[in-house]
Amino acid sequence: MRTLVPAKATFFASLTKRDEIEDVYNNGDPPIDRVNELMSALNQLVAAHSEKQAAQAATAAILQLSIADEILKFKQLLDAGVITQEEFDAKKRQLIG
């Protein structure tokens, strides 16, 4: 006698998949609307991430300018004889860090 178990398993598996697909179509939201909703959410996440990266880059640039400005101020104090070379070098190392 031949067994038909694999064929039955395949049949039931395909029924399950078909039922899942029908559920997607019958839940009230057309699939394209759901795809568009997900794409919109994804685009918002990407935009928020890009804005965050831009803000971090701007902050880093400001910090670098700020450090350069501080070093320049101490260089002017060194040139004016207000601080020693050792003091300048120590402050520069501290700022660069």
Structural contact between residues 78 and 88, judged by C-beta atoms closer than 8 angstroms: yes
- Name 91's Cβ contacts closer than 8 Å, sequence gap at least 6: 70, 71, 74, 83
pLDDT digits (tens, 9 = 90+) for 22-54: 665 666 556 788 888 888 888 898 888 899 999
- Name 33's Cβ contacts closer than 8 Å, sequence gap at least 6: none
- Residue appearing with tokens 């003091």: 87
What distance in Å separates the CA atoms of residue 97 and residue 80, rounded to the nearest whole number?
A: 25
| Helix 31-79 with 85-96: angle, nearest 10 deg | 170
- Cα 17 vs. chain centroid, distance in angstroms? 35
Name the pTM for this structure: 0.42
Q: What is the pLDDT of residue 19?
A: 65
| Structural domain spans, the chain | 55-97
What distance in Å separates the CA atoms of residue 20 and residue 51, rounded to the nearest whole number?
A: 38
pLDDT digits (tens, 9 = 90+) for 55-92: 998 888 888 888 999 999 999 999 999 999 999 999 99
Is the predicted pLDDT of residue 11 greater than 60, yes or no? no
